[in-house]
Amino acid sequence: MWELVKAGGWLMTPIVVCSILALVIIIERSHTLQFNKIVPTRLREQLITRLRENGDIGRTQLMNVKEKTALGDILATGLLYRQYGLESMTMHMQNRASVQVHQLEKNINMLGTIGAIAPLLGLLGTVLGIISSFLAITDGAMQDPTMLAAGVSQALITTAAGMIVAIPALVAYRYFQRRIIDINAHFETQAGLMIQELYDYQLLENIHTLAPANSTVAMDEHARVQLDAGLDTDKVNMATP
């Protein structure tokens, strides 16, 4: 293996560095982007059940849920701000979801960059190897074929090395991108279901405050209609001789 690296010339050094970086990122992201660790099953159901049984969840408990998983961070943030209304609750959950998705995308772009530049490094090695071969021909390589073979081997080795690094990097890049899209979709689904269940079970704080206010408005409207009707009756009575 070391002989192949030496035969590939100095361009094999950045290609080897790219391969090491790609391997480290793939291992780290594979461990981090495990679906069960990011989106635990039945978390939303557990929070809604606790709300229905106790009427509320303590701030300390919600903070513990936030710190454990990405989905827990989003759902617990929504519950922390539910007393301020649906709009505030939704806005804060969207902000936390954006933060979590950004953290999940960590080093993914680097993996895509490695997949893009590794073939270019191999192509550059190919060009340099061919140039060295032609230079060897002018220096009398027809009498010494080993001088010509050195440039050809450099061209082939760097090309193959660049492809070997780029193909797994691009495959992993596309796979992790799709995994993050699926996780983000699950974030949106779980948040929407939680809001719907809060409405269904009347667990939103503003539900209890909107009803009296609407009743008061309706009573004021009814009184105003009765008052207008009374004034119209008085006008008719005054107009009658």
The structure tokens listed for 98 are 């954006």
Q: What is the mean pLDDT of residues 78-96?
A: 93
Averaged pLDDT, 167-182: 97
pLDDT value for 139: 60
- Contact between 158 and 12 under an 8 Å Cβ cutoff? The reply is yes
In the predicted model, is pLDDT for residue 209 greater than 60?
no
111-144 per-position pLDDT tens digit: 999 999 999 999 999 898 888 877 777 665 555 6
Most confident of 121-135, 178-192, 211-225: 178-192
Please tell me the predicted confidence (pLDDT) of residue 76.
96
What Å distances lie between residue 27 and 19, 44, 110, CA to CA? 12, 30, 14
Asked whether the predicted pLDDT for residue 42 surpasses 70, the reply is yes
In this structure, what token pair is assigned to residue 149?
Answer: 């073979």
CA–CA gap between residue 65 and residue 58 (Å, rounded): 11
Q: Using an 8 Å Cβ cutoff, are 30 and 52 in contact? A: no
Share of the chain above pLDDT 70, in %: 80
The values of phi and psi at residue 56, to 5°, are -165, 165
pLDDT at 205 over 50: yes
CA 238 to chain centre: 74
Handedness of CA 150, 153, 159, 162 (dihedral sign): negative
**pLDDT value of residue 94:** 95
CA pair distance 130, 124, nearest whole angstrom = 10
Per the model's pLDDT, the better-predicted residue between 36 and 240 turns out to be 36
Report the chain's mean pLDDT, rounded to a whole number.
83
Encoded amino acid at 105, one letter: E
